[in-house]
Amino acid sequence: MNTASPPCLSRTEWQTLYRVAILETNKSLLPQRVSDAEQAVIKRGREIFQDHGSPEEKDALADALYALRAFRSAWQHTEAA
């Protein structure tokens, strides 16, 4: 698993990683995709916290992180069953 933090993200890069994660169909790639997206969302959240980002992007980041964590929980539950 790659633990390196992604470089500074544009406003749309985290969205791309998020979409890649939630649309991934290969179960062996899914954990890394979700992890990459989570890291990107968290990093972007930190960036806009410092730069006073828009409320809309802050809401979108919160929604994306919630969805990724729910998604991770669902497939981990499915794997355990």
Q: Which residues contact 37 (CB under 8 A, 6 or more apart)?
A: 14, 17, 18, 20, 21, 22, 64, 68
What would the pLDDT profile of 20-78 be if each residue is shown by its tens digit? 999 999 989 999 999 999 999 999 999 988 777 888 999 999 999 999 999 889 887 77
Q: What domain count does the chain have?
A: 1
Q: 37 is in which domain, residue-wise? A: 13-80
The model scores a pTM over 0.85: no
Let me know if residue 3 belongs to a domain. Answer: no
Supply the pLDDT for residue 51.
Answer: 76
The SS3 call for residue 3 is coil
Question: For residue 22, is it within any domain?
Answer: yes
Q: Is residue 4 part of a domain?
A: no
Tell me, yes or no, whether 19 lies in a domain.
yes
**Is the predicted pLDDT of residue 9 greater than 90, yes or no?**
no
- Per the CB < 8 A criterion, the answer to whether 6 and 40 are in contact is yes
